[in-house]
Amino acid sequence: MSPTMKEKHPEVFAEDQDANPRQHKRPLAMRLALNILGFPCYHGVDLIANIHDTEVWNMALDAKFFGQGDKLTCDDWESLLGNYSAIADLPAILFAEELLRCYPKSKVILVERDIERWYKSFNEGIISSIWHPAIRFIARLDSRFVGKLASTSERWTTGWMEARSKREMQVNARPKYKEHYEMVRRVTPSTRLLEFRLEDGWEPLCAFLGRPIPDVDFPPVNEAAALSEMIRLIAWKGIKNALRTSLKVFFAILVLVIAWWAVGVSAPRGED
């Protein structure tokens, strides 16, 4: 039996668990191969289930790329990521240098991909979504979910990607990809760096991490399809949130109108 949408994308359906990302401990989220190997991994999709994390990421992005506010301390990073053993995806990878300073014994897995295949997936899944008029409109309507996700993506889009339009983001994507990989190689000691290709499977990954090879196939993932599916679910959740908010406002106004009418009807009239 094929998995349901809820089973494939539980983050979208989860209630936010984190009212204060600096203090509260949230349930662990596992990411594919690292999950199987026993390393709970903080991935970009974990923002969906822990929406208040956007507040901390926004502070970190503002400080790093725009010179606004204080940079996160090692204690701050531990508060945000202390329940995890690994990080992956945006926005976390933008802080590789900071995290390596805070966790100097960390090992780094640099996943090598054909840049054109990566660009196709990034363009179709991320760039197109960030600049899609409907998604941007939903973000304005739903400030407590899609709007928060958009606030973080907008910061790394303008700060790291140096893009203020879809075309600029497309033009800058490949150079930024190469720049990031060069930075990771520069700041990571060679003894703690694995340059890994997904098609290499378990053997080099397990040898590097000191884990036995699992008795399961290496996870096959159609990233573009999975991402597109998740974005549709996020948009739909945003629409539902916006409708709920609109209905609340509508009923609040309706109650006020009825109350005003009732007061007007029952108010005593002055004598002629």
Average pLDDT over residues 85-97: 94
CB 87 within 8 A of CB 30: no
CB 37 within 8 A of CB 81: no
234: pLDDT strictly greater than 80: no
| Residue 239: both structure tokens together | 């629409």
In this prediction, residue 225 carries a pLDDT of: 62
Average pLDDT over residues 208-232: 78
29: pLDDT strictly greater than 70: no
203 vs 264, which has greater pLDDT? Answer: 203
Give the closest residue to 56 by CA, choosing from 91, 26, 86, 96.
91
Average pLDDT, the chain: 81
Angle at 6 between CA 213 and CA 53, to 5 degrees: 80
* Confidence band of 222 (pLDDT split at 50, 70, 90): low
Q: What are the helix (H) ranges across the chain?
A: 5-8, 10-13, 32-36, 46-49, 53-66, 74-81, 96-102, 115-122, 128-130, 133-141, 146-159, 166-187, 202-209, 223-266
In this prediction, residue 186 carries a pLDDT of: 96
204: pLDDT strictly greater than 50: yes
What pTM does this model have?
0.77
Average pLDDT over residues 172-182: 97
Average pLDDT over residues 14-23: 42
Cα gap 272→265, rounded to integer Å? 18
